[in-house]
Amino acid sequence: MRLPFIGSAPARTGRGSDSEALEADLDDQAMLAAGRGDRRAFARLVDRHLDRTVAITARVIGRRAEAEEVTQEAFLRLWKKAEAWRPGKARVGTWLTRVAINLAIDRTRRVRPVDLDQAVEVADPAAGGEDLVDAAQRAQAVRAAVARLPDRQRAALALFYDREMSMQQAAETMQISVRALESLLARARRTLKVALDDLDPKRDDVRGDRA
């Protein structure tokens, strides 16, 4: 089993500049309108960023229900920020993601994680046979390995792989250097690679042959 964040980091200088610039402009317009009390404009902004923000916070927290609560709080803070928003100082998406990540990390430090067995659905054996069950069990173990990573490593994975930010963008969002971000990603990938190696029965066979 391989995951996109196992192995070398993909080369990525940034997302499509035209579409990114357009989204940033739309976000600024929505924030300015929201600052004048336009709730419909803010609702359009929420529509653009809701799914991505929930996905990122869920990666950090490991529980979707709490990720949705954190996301709601992040948007509430964004709404309160609207009246004082000044285009060009920061991107709405970057500001929102930074706040959501920090809230998610705070939540994980206050709340004891639940058992991953309760949070991940296991496939019904009758639905697809032993292979499907095995795949579900392996996926569950990988999710558990991700959940055991330190908070900031999970956040780095979420930004770089889930949100598909460039190194520079992800580092700015976390307010760290690119070198520090690279270190977080490298440590996370090494940990997950070990977890995946332990799940591979073929590697166990090889080890047994060498014994």
Q: Retrieve residue 94's tokens.
A: 């970057």
Buried b (16+ CB within 10 A) or exposed e, 77-87: ebbebbeebee
Per-residue pLDDT at 69 exceeds 70: yes
Average pLDDT over residues 53-69: 91
Q: Measuring CA to CA, which residue among 165, 210, 191, 116 is closest to residue 10?
A: 165
pLDDT bin (cut points 50, 70, 90) of residue 206 is: very low
CA dihedral 102, 71, 52, 180 (to 10 degrees): 0
Span 128-175, pLDDT tens digits: 555 555 667 666 776 778 888 888 999 998 888 877 788 988 898 898
Average pLDDT over residues 23-38: 94
All structural domains of the chain with their residue ranges: 16-113, 149-211
Taking all residues of the chain, what is their mean pLDDT, rounded to a whole number? Answer: 79
Q: Give the closest residue to 158 by CA, choosing from 70, 54, 50.
A: 54
Third-level CATH fold of 149-211: Arc Repressor Mutant, subunit A (1.10.10)
pLDDT of residue 115: 43
Residue 48: pLDDT over 70: yes
16-113 has CATH 3.40.960.10 classification: no
Q: Is the pLDDT of residue 18 over 80?
A: no
More confident residue, 146 or 3: 146
Percentage of the residues of the chain whose pLDDT score is greater than 90: 39
